[in-house]
Structure 1
Amino acid sequence: MVDEMKALEHNGTWDLVPLPPDKKPVGCRWIYTVKVGPTGKIDRLKARLVAKGYTQVYGQDYCDTFSPVAKTSSVRIFLAMAAIRHWPLYQLDIKNAFLHGDLEEEIYMEQPPGFVAQGESGLVCKLRRSLYGLKQSPRAWFGKFSQVVQKFGLKRCEADHSVFYGHYSPDKCVSLMVYVDDIVITGNDITRINQLKNHLFNHFQTKDLGRLKYFLGIEVAQSKEGVIISQRKYALDILEETGLTNCKPIDNPMDPNQKLMTDQGEPFSDPERYRRLVGKLIYLTITRPDLSYPVGVVSQFMQNPHVDHWNAVLRILRYIKGSPGQGLLYENKGNTRIEGYCDADWAGSPIDRRSTTGYCVLLGGNLVSWKSKKQNVVARSSAEAEYRSMTLTTCELVWIKQLLQELKFCENEQMKLYCDNQAALHISSNPVFHERTKHIEIDCHFIREKLLSKELVTEFVNSNEQLGDMLTKSLRGPRIQFICSKLGAYDLYAPA
């Protein structure tokens, strides 16, 4: 608490002033956190002064609050780029990041509990800087950070505003990614990287964490062969919390013969526990594409879970028990092509008969993006379901190409999209108009523009080689293992 107060005073966060008659002060409180490292060992104890932002009034105490954070796909793309080019990855941590933001509004806050200035108990804090808890603090901090980084000479990506880059010669570059106060830097210009670090040291209280090892709960291992990411500690923590550390593992996360319904069986006695556990499983899918479909299914029953839904969640945990160290390997495979696989399970939902879209995108043979999502409308044919899946995948392919072209990472190569439905491929390549297509929204047809411009090419893939199959339906264990091996997803801690 003393260290936090010193940081607040050093930063000039507030001035003690009498409260104006027409103003109401915002309250504050202390929050205590135990910070742990990737091994589970306690790293440090942390105290933070937090404003009670829920008492702020819109239009008076704050206006805009939006602040961008890096997409998880951007994080994986960043790591894959470093692996392909054999670039080192460095990590920095900004201490008391939100205290650096400049406030535009006039805000008054009560003095911190336990640190009321002697003889000045009637005064309040007029905030000069942003503070944790204020609704506009994330926006104020990101604006300040962007200003400092761009002053160094880096440019902000339009495809993802949390990514910054600089090219100082045809073969020298530096890239930076920020997620709130965690920063990752990579590139092949070591001199510029060190200059960038010093630039940040001069503007913020920054801790150099060295080579990237632990980021957003993701364990990162760098070697000459490539970059490995996993969430083993996080997975083991979930198993320990639910008491399934010693459970019997199984080889698939969901029974292919089971169809979960809305009002199936008895209501579950602790819905809050169900929601909390499913939320943690959603976060685990950052490095586990094999969990995306089953977790997506059980997340549809958050509002009113039943016992059968809870048992389905426990089955997912038993699957995780068999491979808690499952993760992704990024390596240089000799190319930087962007390829996508899309699939759809037509009318697969027994509740509303909507189809499920599944896609995965590879950069140079490395899996960087995937999704398993129920479609918004009921498809009248399997061709329509697959065509909608192709459209969603094309959107992701175009965005990834925009990001990589801004970073000048790859050549203007033609992207390739694989689909296992001949009818959908025919619709995408020809402006046909018949009973199967006349009701499909116009925006779905933009895939034809990408094909005509030669930016994208489609190709048929046999269903046995369809890597998106795992993201649309429940599969048997051997089939899951086959697809995972093709995607570069391995249990990194399994005995050789």
Structure 2
Amino acid sequence: MNDSSPTPHTFSTSFTIPLLQTMSQTSSHPSMCPTASRPVSPSILSPPISSPSLHPMTTHSKVGQLPTIVNQALKNPNWNTAMVEEYQALVRNNTWTLVPFHPSMNVIDSKWIFHVKYNSDGTIQLYKARLVAKGFQQYADVEFTDTFSPIIKASTIRVIFTLTVTYNWEIRQIDFNNAFLNGEIVETVYLSQLAGFISTSHPQYVCKLQKVLYGLKQAPRAWFHKLKDALHTWRFISSTSDTYLFIYKHNGNFLLLLVYVDDLLITGNNAPLIQTLIQDLHNRFALKDLGLVKDFLGFEALHTTTGLHLTQSKYTVDLLTRTNMHSAKPVLTPMSAALKLHAASGPAFSDPTLYRSTIGVIQYLTYTRPDIAFVGTVHRGLHFTPTSSLHLQVYADADRASSIDDRRFTTGYCMFLSTNLLTWNSRKQSVVARSSTEVEYRALAHASIEVAWLHSLFSKLGISLVNTLVIWCDNQGVGVLAANPIFHSRTKHIEVDVHYVREQVSLFANQTQPCCLSSKTGFQLGIYDVPLVGAPRVIFYTFIVPLRQPLLFSVKRLEKQTNPIKFGELVASQGLDNEEEFGHLLHKLVRS
């Protein structure tokens, strides 16, 4: 990088930046000085989160609004320090060289992004300033080609968590510092000089990038290739079921490495080997060893004597605070299952941007909360418990014409590895069904797709299921179509789904059975079906047990019968005083 010194910083007032002397002593770059010359389930309850305003330490509610301009950030010692640290990291990494500007160049602008990283209790862990390039100004096929971001599937994470608690493996977490800066850039890309750090000797020069920056279209791909090359030297193999899951098998040692952009989880049966791997990665990249996983991607991981508890309580509290719902009245029961909403009912939301961002936040919340319930359940989440045997159970269901706007249906499924919930889905379909068989069959087809993927993942991990895979459904016609080569006028328009499910039945020995526990119990399991708007129509107790959630439901008594039974209606129990007794009763019936 060119060592020309930046322009001295000046303000119209007598204010002086308190870190200038510190910067001149610690910086390896001569005469570095900031300047603003360029505008630019069943769950175990976790400890309650104290109110931010009463917390003795600095919390997110005390930080104030994040700076949006460089001048504003430079006046704050915390952000000033963060900007200097980011600049020094770029200098050490030889991220660019200064070259004369030419009119033929497409010079991309840059911007400072400010972020506060919090601990799981809401206190501030780190002030982070990051320089990003405005990648939307790049020309496709000239300044970048392929783009992707290394993000492991949430289902894969839950599968690995189940294995770790079953085999008592530790889960280590590491975080790479300025990960994207390690990626090599192949294309020619020019960047304007950093706002706040303009060269004094060459103020009109531009930066020719030698390493990728955050914000560039190719940045995640370049970083992932760099990391993958390092892992290949260890004989890690990328799984074909999930590209960002790396598997190491050698001399009886078994390690798993999960990549989520610049965050890594490492687990396996050899703790000393894991430490050796972390040290080797530290020799190659700047990273922080965070020890046993505690806070990963906004998830709080609590290790207990009964397993691993995963919640997003802090994330939920932040959401409630941002939407002014923090003082909402808590309730212990879910929303009404009979609630019907119309797309045109009610006034339009006053802030479309806030609405979209809130919906996105809620969708991310479903990583650990399949049920989006009322306030009062923020500490609940997924609980992974050890199991003596690994068996997969799949439940698929659908409602018919539930949308009062277009009469389209919602399909859903969920899958358990023993008692641990692995994956689920609930989605409104794009077609209008003509029969209940069609509705249920499409739900079965969607579940079969996920089953096929899970089967592939299990085979790569060396997991042998102890049971014949069963997909539970509640429609006799679906079972007939799945097992027999028949068509008629009412089903010929769903031929593609029919053939797919039949193929899966043949390949993986799937069995479709009526969703009826036993004619002796008089009780029935229903699928956990969560529409995008509204509340669960029905819920089955097998979901409640692993999460340990006190959301108990009275189940209508069903007459003894041998034919497949339609789902019974589940009515929320208003009196929870006998929740323990009722839970034991249902648990006994389910296990019988």
Q: 1:48 aligns to what? A: 130
> 1:421, CA displacement in angstroms?
1.4
Q: 1:225 aligns to what? A: 306
Matched, 1:125 2:179: no
Q: What is the distance in 2 between the residues matched to 1:43 and 1:328?
A: 25
Q: 2:140 aligns to what? A: 58
- Aligned ranges 1:372-383 → 2 under 5 Å: 372-383=426-437
Larger Rg: 2
Matched, 1:180 2:261: yes
Q: 1:304 aligns to what? A: none
Matched, 1:335 2:394: no
Q: List runs of 5+ in structure 1 lacking aligned partners.
A: 292-315
Q: Are the counterparts in 2 of residues 383 and 423 from structure 1 also a CA contact under 8 Å?
A: yes
Q: What is the distance in 2 between the residues matched to 1:203 and 1:240?
A: 41
Q: Are the counterparts in 1 of residues 442 and 497 from structure 2 also a CA contact under 8 Å?
A: no
Matched, 1:212 2:293: yes
Q: Aligned partner of 1:438: which letter?
A: K
Matched, 1:273 2:273: no
Q: Are the counterparts in 2 of residues 261 and 351 from structure 1 also a CA contact under 8 Å?
A: yes
- Aligned ranges 1:300-449 → 2 under 5 Å: 319=374, 321-411=375-465, 414-449=468-503
Cα deviation per residue 1:173-218 (whole Å; 9 max; x = unaligned)?
0000010001000111123212211121111101000000011111
Q: 1:155 aligns to what? A: 237
Q: 1:248 aligns to what? A: 329
Q: Are the counterparts in 1 of residues 309 and 382 from structure 2 also a CA contact under 8 Å?
A: yes
Q: 1:69 aligns to what? A: 151
> 1:384, CA displacement in angstroms?
1.0
Cα deviation per residue 1:17-58 (whole Å; 9 max; x = unaligned)?
223452121111221111111111000111111112121111
Q: 1:309 aligns to what? A: none
> 1:416, CA displacement in angstroms?
1.8
Equivalent position to 2:99, from 4, 7, 17: 17
Q: Are the counterparts in 1 of residues 155 and 422 from structure 2 also a CA contact under 8 Å?
A: yes
> 1:343, CA displacement in angstroms?
0.5
Q: What is the distance in 2 between the residues matched to 1:45 and 1:474?
A: 38
Indicate the SS of the match to 1:471.
Answer: coil
Cα deviation per residue 1:251-281 (whole Å; 9 max; x = unaligned)?
4544333321121133333333322222221
Q: What is the distance in 2 between the residues matched to 1:69 and 1:361?
A: 22
Q: What is the distance in 2 between the residues matched to 1:268 and 1:352?
A: 22
Q: Aligned partner of 2:471: which letter?
A: L
Q: What is the distance in 1 between the residues matched to 2:177 and 2:548?
A: 34
Q: Are the counterparts in 2 of residues 19 and 108 from structure 1 also a CA contact under 8 Å?
A: no
Cα deviation per residue 1:107-129 (whole Å; 9 max; x = unaligned)?
11112122223312232211111
Shifted more, 242-251 versus 212-221: the winner is 242-251
Cα deviation per residue 1:333-363 (whole Å; 9 max; x = unaligned)?
2111122100100111111111111100111
C-alpha change, 1:350 and 1:158, in structure 2 (3 Å) is same
> 1:61, CA displacement in angstroms?
1.4
Q: What is the distance in 1 between the residues matched to 2:452 and 2:318?
A: 37
Matched, 1:485 2:544: yes
Q: 1:296 aligns to what? A: none
Q: Are the counterparts in 2 of residues 80 and 331 from structure 1 also a CA contact under 8 Å?
A: yes
> 1:388, CA displacement in angstroms?
0.7
Equivalent position to 1:258, from 329, 334, 339: 339
- Aligned ranges 1:108-123 → 2 under 5 Å: 108-123=190-205
C-alpha change, 1:19 and 1:407, in structure 2 (3 Å) is farther
Shifted more, 259-268 versus 230-239: the winner is 259-268
Indicate the SS of the match to 2:195.
Answer: coil
Q: What is the distance in 2 between the residues matched to 1:435 and 1:94?
A: 58
C-alpha change, 1:476 and 1:403, in structure 2 (3 Å) is closer
Q: What is the distance in 2 between the residues matched to 1:259 and 1:93?
A: 45
Q: Aligned partner of 1:100: which letter?
A: N
Q: 1:88 aligns to what? A: 170
Indicate the SS of the match to 2:233.
Answer: helix
Q: Are the counterparts in 1 of residues 396 and 443 from structure 2 also a CA contact under 8 Å?
A: yes
Which structure has greater strand proportion? 1
Q: What is the distance in 1 between the residues matched to 2:411 and 2:390?
A: 25
Q: What is the distance in 2 between the residues matched to 1:10 and 1:116?
A: 17
- Percent identity reads 38
Q: What is the distance in 2 between the residues matched to 1:480 and 1:417?
A: 17
C-alpha change, 1:136 and 1:444, in structure 2 (3 Å) is farther
Q: Are the counterparts in 1 of residues 392 and 415 from structure 2 also a CA contact under 8 Å?
A: yes
Q: 1:312 aligns to what? A: none
Indicate the SS of the match to 1:322.
Answer: coil
Q: What is the distance in 1 between the residues matched to 2:457 and 2:550?
A: 30
Q: Are the counterparts in 1 of residues 341 and 534 from structure 2 also a CA contact under 8 Å?
A: no
Q: List runs of 5+ in structure 2 lacking aligned partners.
A: 1-82, 518-522, 552-575, 581-592
Shifted more, 72-81 versus 355-364: the winner is 72-81
Q: Aligned partner of 2:251: which letter?
A: S
> 1:375, CA displacement in angstroms?
1.7
Matched, 1:466 2:548: no
TM-score normalised to structure 1 length: 0.88
Equivalent position to 1:102, from 184, 201, 226: 184
Q: Aligned partner of 1:340: which letter?
A: V
Q: What is the distance in 2 between the residues matched to 1:153 and 1:188?
A: 16
Q: How many residues align?
A: 466
Q: Aligned partner of 1:459: which letter?
A: Q
Cα deviation per residue 1:110-157 (whole Å; 9 max; x = unaligned)?
121222233122322111110011111111111111111112211001
Shifted more, 325-334 versus 255-264: the winner is 255-264
Which structure has greater helix proportion? 1
Indicate the SS of the match to 1:178.
Answer: strand
Q: Are the counterparts in 2 of residues 64 and 136 from structure 1 also a CA contact under 8 Å?
A: yes
Q: What is the distance in 2 between the residues matched to 1:436 and 1:355?
A: 17
TM-score normalised to structure 2 length: 0.74
Equivalent position to 1:33, from 92, 101, 115: 115
Indicate the SS of the match to 2:527.
Answer: helix
Q: What is the distance in 2 between the residues matched to 1:98 and 1:324?
A: 34
Q: What is the distance in 2 between the residues matched to 1:444 and 1:68?
A: 34
Q: 2:220 aligns to what? A: 138
Q: What is the distance in 2 between the residues matched to 1:26 and 1:265?
A: 44
Q: 2:281 aligns to what? A: 200
> 1:486, CA displacement in angstroms?
3.5
Q: What is the distance in 2 between the residues matched to 1:431 and 1:90?
A: 50
Q: Aligned partner of 2:198: which letter?
A: V
